[in-house]
Amino acid sequence: MIKLFFSRKRNIPKEDSGRNQGVIFVLFALSILFFVLAKSFPSREGDKLKGEMIRASEIMAEAVDVIRECRGEKGPIIDKNIDLNQTGLIGLEFSPITTSIGSLEAKRTTTNPNFAALIVFLLKEAKIERGDTIAVGASSSFPSLIVAVFSAAKAMNLKLIVINSLGASQWGANSPDFHWLDMQSCLLNAGIFDAKPIGLSLGGARDEGKDMNPEGRFLLVNEIRESGIFFIHEPDLKRNVEARMCLYEEKAGEGKIKAFINIGGSWSNMGEDPEILKLRPGLVKIKQFPPAEKRGVLFAMAALNIPAFHLLYIKGLVERYGLSWDPFPLPQPGKGKIYQLVGKKQTSFLLLTAAYFLLVILVMVFRNKLGL
């Protein structure tokens, strides 16, 4: 039986054989074409993104140098046992403008200049492009994250609309002699950034600093009034959020706000609903919105289909994106696992792959009509 089977000649019509060869040739040509495209287009896209990420990290490193030098001239002495990398961005354990407890390790972690690269990466995930307008709501608890966002915006040529609260948790910008407005002044004078806040508030409990020392609250109120920047002091959450949204929209003008970034744990930005605790750090995906009267600005922006970023749970953020936890010494700009993420989820590659398989299917389905 076996010998008989192999001894038989399988007669394949020459016409079918020619057609099969034609199909194989077309598929081979398509494979070569898409291989070349896949090697060129995604790498260019990835190189551009990586370049912006590295540039952002370099800008942040430069900004940290300015703040370090400025604090040496004007602010309290840097405690080398606390601020291990001597950045000048780590505040005090307790002070009159301290609002709540805070993690020293988390604050030190965010001084890594490659956090600016992470911000670029996150913004690109949300399809943010050069020239877009971004709204920022920032607590002074994480001055390093404010610097990181500003650095990313400069590298990407973004327009920033910023509202700051000046109260800060432990180890943030909570030194009465060197709070966020002082740091910002240093950066503006050095020409590192040009973004100024359109609104200021005290922060803390109900955005009125009720958990601060009265002396600290008085100090910050005077600082805000002397700055000439709009003072937000509204203890009702819904009205507070509405005031902030109006400020953002007014400043944006005809330009559309393309994203919102929340930095820290501001009551005004996070709101009062437990739903906020379910959000992962980074680009948020909201499954259920709180009632309007309990929403912070983050939820208000997301309800308008504006991509929202939540920068708070630092431990989870660095674990998710491959940054170092409480590093000493600080990593160099452009170094770290965050840069290895570039190219893993590029839109062009996915579209190219989909197009390839679609063409293969079309060739197989219509090969007779194509004469193959």
pLDDT at 29: 72
pLDDT at 254: 86
How confident is the model over 199-249, as pLDDT tens digits? 999 999 999 999 999 999 999 999 999 999 999 999 999 999 999 999 999
Cβ atoms of residues 68 and 88 within 8 Å = yes
Cβ atoms of residues 223 and 181 within 8 Å = yes
Mean per-residue pLDDT, 87-114: 98
pLDDT at 363 over 70: no
6/268: higher pLDDT: 268
CA distance readout (Å), 54 to 46, 156, 177, 253, 345: 12, 11, 32, 31, 19
Proportion of the chain above pLDDT 70, given as a percent: 84
Quote the CA–CA distance of 268 and 262 in Å, as a whole number: 10
pLDDT at 346: 54
pLDDT at 21: 63
Average pLDDT of the chain is: 90
Quote the CA–CA distance of 209 and 167 in Å, as a whole number: 7
Bridge partners of residue 77, in order along the sequence: none
Quote the CA–CA distance of 257 and 247 in Å, as a whole number: 12
CA distance readout (Å), 186 to 62, 75, 177: 12, 11, 13
pLDDT at 95: 97
Note the residue count of the chain.
372
Quote the CA–CA distance of 288 and 327 in Å, as a whole number: 36
Q: Which residue ranges make up each domain of the chain?
A: 49-341
Q: Among 35-44, 142-151, 198-207, name the one with the lowest average pLDDT.
A: 35-44
